[in-house]
Structure 1
Amino acid sequence: MDFGLSQEQQMLAESVARLLRELCPLNHVRNVVESESAVSAQAEAALAELGLNGLVVPEAYGGLGLGMLDAAVVATALGEAVAPVPFAGRKVLAPLALIEAGSDAQKANWLPRIASGGVCFGVGLQGLVTRRDGSGVSCADGRLTGLALFVLDCEEADHFLVADDNGQLYIILAQSEGVEQIALRTIDATRSICGLRLSSVPAEALRDDGGKAAQRIIAAGRILLAADSLGAADAMIAQAVAYAGQREQFGRVIGSFQAVKHMCAEMAARNEPCRSLVWYAAHAFDAVPEEAPLMACHAKSHLGETGRIIARTATEVHGGMGFTDLLGLHYWFKRIGFDRQILGGPETVREEAALLQGWIARAA
């Protein structure tokens, strides 16, 4: 039995990686960020031409009909290129929410438009994981009121998918009266994040399933963030190894020193097992759904810790140069830091994993 990626998935990964190498090199990423945007228009357009807007949208609605493992493969390539492209929320979580909890009419209305790029979603689910003072969303008479923080992929979004405090999912129009977007800056300038202050905003509710769909979408988001960290860690290891083979000290390349060899080997040894963990979590989302929440927690928490160690070690291999903007290593460092915290840091997610396994009691 083959436990690796299929030939089609390998081709998808290579196609996306090759496209990003051509259209989204580091200088382009730097230019996008310095323009105070978090979206590369040329990379976004090229990915749309590959059909990635409809990556997980069923073929019946004009999409590719692919699964979470395919999405994780794309997320890994995006993380490796530190690409400023809205992906997780806009191209995966929003359509998955409609697939999971939308009525037939809602699917027919929204999914073809998502696949064609005719509608762009931002996604706000962070309040179901961790909540800051003053945040939270409630619904009364079909209208939402409250504050949703850390909404993903908000730049250029014309609609938002948000959850209330009970886990019920809603769609709102970005330009509706009563919607105020609050600019939020995180350490990762390649992601567009905002807050939404809602004042009696009319909302289209998805099916009320007691929050089950929202929890499944959160699991999907955690898998994608873990995959993004995996790709970012791959890139940092490759850059550290390349630098160690070029930089000279005392007449020798530093890669010939045993201490540097050990640092590079340790990074590779830590990161490689993460690949199968992410792949299995993505596979479980589609094929073994009862395992998906727990596996998503494992992948998210483990990649959060491993990614941090690799980011730190790769920077150390570069010495003082690792902290400069000249090399741009900090883009990957910050990307991993963002992935670590959004939708739950390692401590939060491990506690949830313990609850799922019955190791600790749920608070009353």
Structure 2
Amino acid sequence: MEFGLSEDQRLMQESVNRTLEKVSPLERVRKAADGGEDYARDIWQALVELGVPGMLIPEAEGGMGLGLLDAALVSEALGRHVAPVPFLASAVMAPLALMGAGSRAQQEAYLPKLAAGEAIAGVAISERASGARDKAGVTVRNGKLNGTALFAIDFGGADFFIVGDREGGLHLVRADAPGLTRKRLTTIDLTRSIGELGFSDVEAEPLASGDAATTSRRMLDAGRVMLAADTLGAGWMMIDKAVDYAKERKQFGRVIGSFQAVKHMCAEMAAELEPGRSLIWYAAHAFDAIPGEASLMAAHAKAHLAEVGRFVARTATEVHGGMGFTDLLGLHYWFKRIGFDRQLLGSPERARHDAAVLQGWAAD
């Protein structure tokens, strides 16, 4: 039995990495972040040409019909290059919503556009991921939505949103729908767009052709695996940068990489982070092949990589010394990306609680 990536998967990830090395250098990331761009359209277009937006979408709808492990490999590459693109919601969570609970007409109308990169989708299911919050939540009355949805993912530039309500239903809302208000939120991670949606008798298309509760769960599971993979990629880039810096920076007439303490810091980062790769791979595999384990493994992957990612981000910054905190090196883009991955779609504490509930160790 093969317990590794196929040749096609390795080639695909290498291709994505090579493309991002060309189109998403630090200077381009900095420009997108400082300029307040919704997302870097040139970087996204390069990924569209590779078929990334349609990875999970069936071939009949213009996609590639691949699995979540393939998407995780791309997410890792995006984290490595802190690419400011709308991948999480538009290429992963929204297609899963439409494929799981959308009508045939909705699938035919929206999936081909997502696959071709002609439309961007945002997703607002924060209550499902993090629990209810005061004065937040969406209700349905006479087929119209009212309330507030916090932390909509891939908010900027979205043509439509997949919105979860308090009863577990899913709805498709066009970005220009009357009564919908949109407010961009500022987070520590300027490479991704997050916003708040306000609803006042907003017309919406219900996604009611499947089990909305199951679909919401799968959206959350997939999103958590993607965030874990993103942290893996960002963490390894921080380690690589720390090692390169340790080989160049000199103190007392010697490169700091020759000091035992610095060697131990770099080795410990690698030893802590690398085992997370197999956890992510298995969680992605379970999502497609072992549905009974999918939610549990997604929660484990999200929680574990969030904790290890924070350790790597802090330690890599320490290896750089005072330079690690400057804007000159840009290390903070990876640091903040890892920090935001930690909280989005549930903190590690929330993910561990979900895992305990799934195993009957705690009440929901």
Does residue 118 of structure 1 match 2:102? no
* Cα distance in 2, alignment partners of residues 244 and 236 from structure 1: 12
Q: Which residue identity does 2:173 align to in structure 1?
A: I
Does residue 300 of structure 1 match 2:302? yes
* Cα distance in 2, alignment partners of residues 146 and 6 from structure 1: 46
* Cα distance in 2, alignment partners of residues 98 and 28 from structure 1: 32
1:39-68: CA deviation from partner (whole Å, max 9, x where unpaired): 112111100111112111000111111110
* Cα distance in 1, alignment partners of residues 39 and 133 from structure 2: 27
Q: Which residue identity does 2:10 align to in structure 1?
A: Q
What is the CA-CA distance between 1:210 and the residue it aligns to? 5.4
Q: Give the match's secondary structure for 1:290.
A: helix
* Cα distance in 2, alignment partners of residues 226 and 278 from structure 1: 7
Aligned to 1:37: 37
* Cα distance in 2, alignment partners of residues 353 and 250 from structure 1: 49
Aligned residues with identical type, % of pairs: 57
1:178 and 1:198 in contact (8 A); partners too: yes
Correspondence list, 1:16-55, <5 A: 16-55=16-55
Aligned to 1:140: 141
Q: Which residue identity does 2:26 align to in structure 1?
A: L
Aligned to 1:168: 169
What is the CA-CA distance between 1:36 and the residue it aligns to? 1.2
Aligned to 1:83: 83
Distance 1:210 1:157, change over 3 A: closer
1:61 and 1:111 in contact (8 A); partners too: yes
1:308 and 1:336 in contact (8 A); partners too: yes
What is the CA-CA distance between 1:141 and the residue it aligns to? 1.4
Does residue 71 of structure 1 match 2:63? no
1:202-247: CA deviation from partner (whole Å, max 9, x where unpaired): 1101126251110111011000000000000010000000000100
1:166 and 1:210 in contact (8 A); partners too: no
1:58 and 1:65 in contact (8 A); partners too: yes
Q: Which residue identity does 1:199 align to in structure 2?
A: S
Aligned to 1:312: 314
What is the CA-CA distance between 1:38 and the residue it aligns to? 4.1
What is the CA-CA distance between 1:112 and the residue it aligns to? 1.4
Q: Give the match's secondary structure for 2:2.
A: coil
1:230-277: CA deviation from partner (whole Å, max 9, x where unpaired): 000010000000000100000000000000000000000001100000
Q: Give the match's secondary structure for 1:2.
A: coil
2:96 and 2:218 in contact (8 A); partners too: no
Aligned to 2:275: 273
* Cα distance in 1, alignment partners of residues 109 and 84 from structure 2: 28
Q: Which residue identity does 2:149 align to in structure 1?
A: A
Aligned to 1:179: 180
1:148-179: CA deviation from partner (whole Å, max 9, x where unpaired): 01000011111111100122110011111110
* Cα distance in 1, alignment partners of residues 323 and 344 from structure 2: 28
* Cα distance in 1, alignment partners of residues 253 and 267 from structure 2: 23
Q: Which residue identity does 1:201 align to in structure 2?
A: V
Q: Which residue identity does 2:198 align to in structure 1?
A: R
2:86 and 2:120 in contact (8 A); partners too: no
Distance 1:224 1:139, change over 3 A: same
* Cα distance in 1, alignment partners of residues 232 and 268 from structure 2: 15
Name the TM-score, length of structure 2 as normaliser.
0.98
* Cα distance in 2, alignment partners of residues 237 and 223 from structure 1: 21
Aligned to 1:10: 10
How many residues are paired up? 362
1:49-96: CA deviation from partner (whole Å, max 9, x where unpaired): 111121110001111111100000000000000111110101111111
Aligned to 2:347: 345
Q: Give the match's secondary structure for 2:146.
A: strand
Q: Give the match's secondary structure for 1:156.
A: coil
* Cα distance in 1, alignment partners of residues 153 and 341 from structure 2: 12
Name the TM-score, length of structure 1 as normaliser.
0.98
Does residue 152 of structure 1 match 2:153? yes
* Cα distance in 1, alignment partners of residues 114 and 363 from structure 2: 40
Does residue 97 of structure 1 match 2:97? yes
1:89 and 1:123 in contact (8 A); partners too: yes
Correspondence list, 1:184-333, <5 A: 184-207=185-208, 209=211, 211-333=213-335
* Cα distance in 1, alignment partners of residues 232 and 53 from structure 2: 22
1:38 and 1:189 in contact (8 A); partners too: no
Q: What is the root-mean-square deviation in Å for CA atoms of aligned residues?
A: 1.0
1:88 and 1:221 in contact (8 A); partners too: yes
Higher alpha-carbon deviation: 80-89 or 106-115: 106-115
* Cα distance in 2, alignment partners of residues 210 and 174 from structure 1: 21
- In structure 1, runs of 5+ residues without a counterpart are none
* Cα distance in 2, alignment partners of residues 43 and 210 from structure 1: 33
2:184 and 2:193 in contact (8 A); partners too: no
Q: Give the match's secondary structure for 2:84.
A: coil
